[in-house]
């Protein structure tokens, strides 16, 4: 891949290595996980520490039902 940059009175072709599919997937997954973490942090701001400490037990109880 390459891009063309204007450098004053001339242009320069700048090349950079192509990203593999695995690298692209990893980058996209990191982007998605980062966005998800941000949303979840905002969501749990309304919960008390005591409430969040019981989440594991709530999940266990829900699985029994």
pLDDT at 3: 83
Domain count, the chain: 1
* 41 domain residue, yes or no: yes
2 domain residue, yes or no? no
pLDDT tens readout for residues 19-32: 889 999 999 999 99
CA-wise closest residue to 62 among 49, 54, 5, 21: 54
**52 within a domain of the structure (yes/no):** yes
Answer whether residue 1 is part of any domain: no
> Is 35 inside a domain boundary?
yes
User: What pLDDT does residue 31 have?
Assistant: 96
Answer yes or no: is 44 within a domain: yes
pLDDT, tens digit, 9 for 90 and up, residues 6-56 = 888 888 988 877 888 999 999 999 999 999 999 999 988 888 889 889 999
Tokens 């919960």, located at residue: 47
- Any domain includes 12: no
User: For position 1, what pLDDT does the model report?
Assistant: 74
The model's pTM:
0.50
16: CB partners within 8 A, 6+ apart: 1, 2, 3
Domain that holds residue 57: 20-64
């Amino acid at each position: 891949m390459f891009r063309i940059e204007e450098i004053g009175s001339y242009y320069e072709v700048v090349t950079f290595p192509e990203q593999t599919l695995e690298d692209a997937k990893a980058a996209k997954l990191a982007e998605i996980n980062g966005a998800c973490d941000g949303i979840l942090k905002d969501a749990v701001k309304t919960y008390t520490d005591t409430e969040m400490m019981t989440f594991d037990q709530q999940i266990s109880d829900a699985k029994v039902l």
